[in-house]
């Protein structure tokens, strides 16, 4: 027993144990802390019918909450392409929205740049697809279900190839040609499918052995995949300075020789020779059926093409053929 200072009995050991041992919340029975494991195993808790039905109700309520959360959490529009922030190349552009099952077609609206294009789209296998032409620039796609905006994306369309400019050539004595230029707006630059480095300002400097390659193909590709190609000679094109030579001068040996001498003693390096002039005459015996039919070619006294070409080649003169196309009184 336990007593206070006045030797008055407060409670016995048994009543103390009863106060310290907790009760089961549901059954109301006391649970002994001193019981052995075997004793606890044999002393099971007994649930009252009221407590059992309460637990069943709580479980059903939790299940219902979970089902409602899953059902409400599933978006009406699963995905939308082009995605937000995408860069798209090619025309036309395909817009595709993957929808949740069970949606009625009349509930869905597809808008591009504020215009309702639902009528032009097709719905198949829970996917709404629109194929449309879009100009270069920024575009916005929105999908609404039941009057509520469910998903949107803003993307860029780019179908313009980057600029590719050849600025100059430098011919070195070791056979190397240095080609310089710029590729503004390019993400990468290729020379014969070999990627080369671009400077930060978009310029480039290429070294090509002109003894191995007479020309090279340079390609500029932007971030959207648009490509621009140019074929560049490894030696710069000649700067031609020449004079005009008529059919009758080219056909006359003495007169043509004088023209060649003129080129050799001056800064000239080319001759522009009439092959078909503004009178409609063809300078040599042509085998073109129309020329034979209308009689526009010179059967005799015309230009000896082989002799003229040999003369130019021997004297390092650039020959230029002049053909008048839109003035022909014979055929007209």
CB of 245 closer than 8 Å to CB of 274: yes
Distance CA 272, CA 282 (A): 15
Pairing of strands 176-182, 203-209: antiparallel
Compute φ and ψ for 40, nearest 5 degrees. Answer: -65, -35
Residue 29, token pair as written in the block:
């029975």
The DSSP-derived string for 84-113 is TT-EE-SSSEEEEEEE-TT--GGGEEEEET
* Whole-number pLDDT of residue 16: 54
pLDDT in tens, 229-252: 999 988 877 789 999 999 999 999
CB of 242 closer than 8 Å to CB of 270: yes
Q: Over the chain, what is the mean pLDDT? A: 84
* Whole-number pLDDT of residue 8: 56
pLDDT in tens, 81-114: 999 999 999 889 999 999 888 788 888 999 999 9
pLDDT of 41 higher than 50? no
CATH numbers and ranges of domains, the chain: 24-72 (no CATH), 77-157 (2.60.40.1220), 165-233 (2.60.40.10), 242-323 (no CATH)
The distance of Cα 165 from the centroid of its chain, to the nearest Å, equals 22
Residue 5, token pair as written in the block:
């200072």
pLDDT of 35 higher than 50? no
* Whole-number pLDDT of residue 13: 58
């Amino acid at each position: 027993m336990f007593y206070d200072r006045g030797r008055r009995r407060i409670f016995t050991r048994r009543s103390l144990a009863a106060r310290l041992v907790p009760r089961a919340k549901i059954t109301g029975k006391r649970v002994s802390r001193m019981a052995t494991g075997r004793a606890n195993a044999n002393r099971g808790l007994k649930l009252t019918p009221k407590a059992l039905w309460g637990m069943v109700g709580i479980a059903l309520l939790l299940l219902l909450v979970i089902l409602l959360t899953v059902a409400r959490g599933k978006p009406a529009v699963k995905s939308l392409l082009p995605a937000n922030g995408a860069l798209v190349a090619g025309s036309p552009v395909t817009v595709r929205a993957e929808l949740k099952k069970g949606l009625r077609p009349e509930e869905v609206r597809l808008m591009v740049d504020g215009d309702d294009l639902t009528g032009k789209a097709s719905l198949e296998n829970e996917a709404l697809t629109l194929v449309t032409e879009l100009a270069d620039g920024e575009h916005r796609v929105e999908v609404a279900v039941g009057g509520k905006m469910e998903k949107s994306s803003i993307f860029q369309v780019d179908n313009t190839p980057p600029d590719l400019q050849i600025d100059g050539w430098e011919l070195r004595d070791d056979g190397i040609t240095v080609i310089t230029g710029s590729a503004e707006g390019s993400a990468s630059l290729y020379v014969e499918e070999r990627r080369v480095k671009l400077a930060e300002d978009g310029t480039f400097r290429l070294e090509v052995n002109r003894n191995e390659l007479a020309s090279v193909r340079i390609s500029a590709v932007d971030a959207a995949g648009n490509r621009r190609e140019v074929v560049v000679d490894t030696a710069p094109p000649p700067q031609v300075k020449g004079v005009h030579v008529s059919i009758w001068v080219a056909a006359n040996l003495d007169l043509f020789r004088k023209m060649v001498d003129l080129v050799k003693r001056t800064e000239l390096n080319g001759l522009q020779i009439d092959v078909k002039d503004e009178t409609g005459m063809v300078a040599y015996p042509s085998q073109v059926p129309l020329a034979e039919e209308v009689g526009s070619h010179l059967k005799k006294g015309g230009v000896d093409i082989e002799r003229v070409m040999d003369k130019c080649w021997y004297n390092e003169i650039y020959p230029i053929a002049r053909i008048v196309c839109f003035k022909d009184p014979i055929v007209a």
